[in-house]
Amino acid sequence: MVTVFDVEPNKLIAKAADKLKGMKLPKPAFVGLVKTGPHVQRPPIQEDFWYTRCASILRQAYINGTVGINRLRRHYGGRKRRGVKPPAHSASGGSTIRKAMQELERAGLLIKQKAGRTLSPKGRKLLDSAAKESG
């Protein structure tokens, strides 16, 4: 059986994002208008950025077990250019991640724990079927 670990991450995330689009996962009004963090210069230009980010969060929950906002902020962060000073790592903004996790909870794909969130059986099934189709 093909699992998430056997498939290339970009293909898996693209396939899972298509499945999330089919589920009509609502996206906040600010997505696409604001930057995702202080390390980027412009907002995302991809049409399906919201679904791609949600699929990526589901994959991180599958791989790491329990994930929280701070761990994902570090994961999605990047190198911030600081002028004449050397570049430094900067965490991503937390609002987009937090709203995405809340919507995935409402859809039944994530379960809120005392500390962080874990993947629900429905979310695991969605990612396994996406891995099977893209693998």
pLDDT on residue 32: 86
Q: What number is the average pLDDT over the span 63-69?
A: 94
Considering only the C-alpha atoms of the chain, give the largest distance between any 2 of them, rounded to a whole number of Å. Answer: 51
Distances (CA, A) of 119 to 31, 62, 71: 23, 6, 15
What b/e readout covers 70-83, taking b as 16+ CB neighbours within 10 angstroms? eebbeebbeeeeee
Segment 108-121 mean pLDDT = 94
Distances (CA, A) of 80 to 21, 33, 74: 31, 20, 13
Q: Once rounded to an integer, what is the mean pLDDT over residues 90-118?
A: 94
Number of structural domains, the chain? 1
Mean pLDDT of 24-44: 91
Torsion-angle region of residue 103: left (phi > 0), alpha (psi -120 to 50) or beta?
alpha
The whole-number pLDDT of residue 24 equals 86
C-alpha of 22 from chain center:
17
Q: What is the mean pLDDT of residues 14-20?
A: 95
Range of the domain at 113: 4-134
pLDDT at 135 over 80: no
Q: Which element (helix H / strand E) includes 111?
A: strand 110-112
Question: What pLDDT score was predicted for residue 2?
Answer: 87
Q: What does pLDDT average to over the chain?
A: 93
* Residue 12's CATH number: 1.10.10.10
Mean pLDDT of 71-98: 95
Would you place residue 34 in the very low, low, confident or very high pLDDT band (cuts 50, 70, 90)? very high
